[in-house]
Amino acid sequence: MAFEQVALIGLGLIASSISHAMRRAGMPARITGHARSAGTRAEAARLGLCEVRETAAEAARGADLVILCVPVGAMEAVAREIAPVLKAGAIVTDVGSVKGGVIAAVAPHLPETVRFIPGHPLAGTEHSGPASGFAELFDNRWCLLTPLPGTDPGALADLLGFWTALGARVDTMEPEHHDLVLAVTSHVPHLIAYTMVGVADDLRRVTASEVINYSAAGFRDFTRIAASDPVMWRDVFLNNREATLDILGRFTEELFALQRAVRTGDGAHLQEYFTRTRAIRRGIIEAGQDTSVPDFGRTPAARGH
């Protein structure tokens, strides 16, 4: 199915990248959009990302595909607002990093005449806002769709085709399993990064500017991760508490074991552990999910533009 109108509710990094990727793919769809902030709407209009509307309902009216690109905590209010104007047969999806919470917030408010297929493109940078998007963001990155029981196979195929056209690799997954997997691969790593940068900030007060001036690569990676949108990550942790706490418990156990190895001088344990975990990094590169180039070489700065 070729969508005639795609509505982007929320106009940050992901939505702006969707707009750029749609145009790169030559999609003929009309793109409408809305952001809560008047400043964001003005910037999106200046960049020509879409036909900007003053309300989410106005943006969603008549759309064949509605993509919710707002923080998880704002999903319910948006669903309530757009529900009365949704076109019969429209597909509603999202880009949230948590699926259980989004389903609970959105599904009860949508009319039976639309098809709700939650989704999550595993793509992003530490930047946010309409100007941060670029067409290559989804290239060779996974987009996970978490269809609900009874989902129309045709609608699922249409959404899969949409993300594939944007350059993504698409897979389907149970919502609960998605949230557990993302707790391991994204949510807890972000929480650890925020914590480490917070510890360094406390230390910086004691050591003046050394922590900032002499930052090594490892700490710089932490600060890049910790630069992500605070509102988005607040909502992620509040809506994926169970899986996050489960993985945090496992992390704490591993950390205690390494702490004991360092304290007791158990070099063999440390070397074996580091050797085993290094293989994970190699596997990620072999799977094409990272390179040695910052941001996969896809941002304008990394490409030398």
- List, for residues 166-203, the tens digit of each pLDDT value: 999 999 999 999 999 999 888 888 888 888 888 777 77
Answer yes or no: is pLDDT of 300 > 70.
Answer: no
- Give the CA count within 13 Å in the CB-facing half-sphere of 163: 29
**Tokens of residue 137, six digits:** 């963001």
Percent of the chain with pLDDT over 90: 63
Nearest to 100 by CA among 11, 188, 18, 173: 173
Q: Residue 38: which pLDDT band, with cuts at 50, 70 and 90? A: very high
Question: For residue range 238-284, what is the model confidence (pLDDT) as tens digits?
Answer: 888 898 899 899 889 999 999 999 999 999 999 998 888 888 777 77
CB atoms within 10 A of CB 173: 18
Question: What's the rounded Cα separation, in Å, for the pair 44 and 16?
Answer: 8
Whether the Cβ atoms of residue 117 and residue 147 lie closer than 8 Å to each other: yes
Phi, psi for residue 134 in degrees, rounded to 5: -155, 150
Average pLDDT value over all residues in the chain: 88
- Please give the share of the chain, as a percent, with pLDDT higher than 70: 90
Q: What is the spatial distance between Cα 76 and Cα 104, in angstroms, rounded to a whole number?
A: 9
Which letter, b or e, does each residue of 75-110 get, where b requires 16 or more Cβ atoms within 10 Å of its Cβ? bbebbbbbbebbbeebbbbbbbbbbbbbbebbeebb
With tokens 């945090």, the residue in question is: 248
CA 295 – CA 200 distance, rounded (Å): 24
| pLDDT digits 0-9 by tens, 147-165 | 999 999 999 999 999 999 9
- Counting every residue written for the chain, the total comes to 305
Q: Please report the beta strands in the chain, taking only residues with DSSP state E, as ranges in sequence order.
A: 5-9, 30-34, 51-52, 65-68, 91-94, 115-116, 119-121, 142-145, 169-172
**80 neighbors 22 (Cβ within 8 angstroms):** no
Angstrom distance (rounded) from CA 164 to CA 86 = 24
State the pairing for strand pair 115-116/119-121: unpaired
| Global pTM value | 0.81
Task: Write down the residue that tokens 């993509």 correspond to.
Answer: 67
Shortest CA distance to 149 belongs to which of 166, 174, 130, 125? 174
Q: Report the chain's terminal Cα–Cα distance, integer Å.
A: 35
